[in-house]
Amino acid sequence: MGKMKIQIPYDKQELQIALIVLDGKFTPEDMEKKMKEIISEMLDMAIKDNKSLKEKIAGYHSITVGELVGSVNYQILCEEYYKMVPIKHINKLKEKFDITEKEAWAMFASLLGLLD
């Protein structure tokens, strides 16, 4: 299946600026509390092993694992799932923090260590 490639719709500089804006919106205590909650929710969506990944992909497409694995469109079905996962995380961040999409992407990229 290979590595998941996340396509972020903003460049690094835009995301770093969005992080600076976020720093002014929340106290460190607020941010820490909300981040613990959101990370917990994100970990619930995390994949524990290859079997559960296939189960999640099949479930997303409302098919069985057998149908997924035997599908001529296996790669496409996996890619569609991989594209959906970051969007789900972005929407959670927007909802939890009441922030813009760009700010959510900045937070997400920061959590993944992509802005270091």
Residue ranges of the domains in the chain?
12-111
Residue 23 pLDDT exceeds 60: yes
Task: Kindly tell me if the per-residue pLDDT of 57 is higher than 70.
Answer: yes
Residue 41 has pLDDT above 80, yes or no: no
Give the pLDDT band of residue 50 (cuts 50, 70, 90): low
Helix (H, G, I), strand (E, B) or coil at 56: helix
1, 53 Cβ separation under 8 angstroms = yes
Is 80 exceeded by the pLDDT of residue 13? yes
CA distance 116 to 109: 9
The number of C-alpha atoms within 13 Å of 55 and in the hemisphere containing its C-beta is 8
Model confidence at 1: pLDDT above 60? no
Q: What is the pTM of this model?
A: 0.75
Q: Tell me: pLDDT of 29 over 50.
A: yes
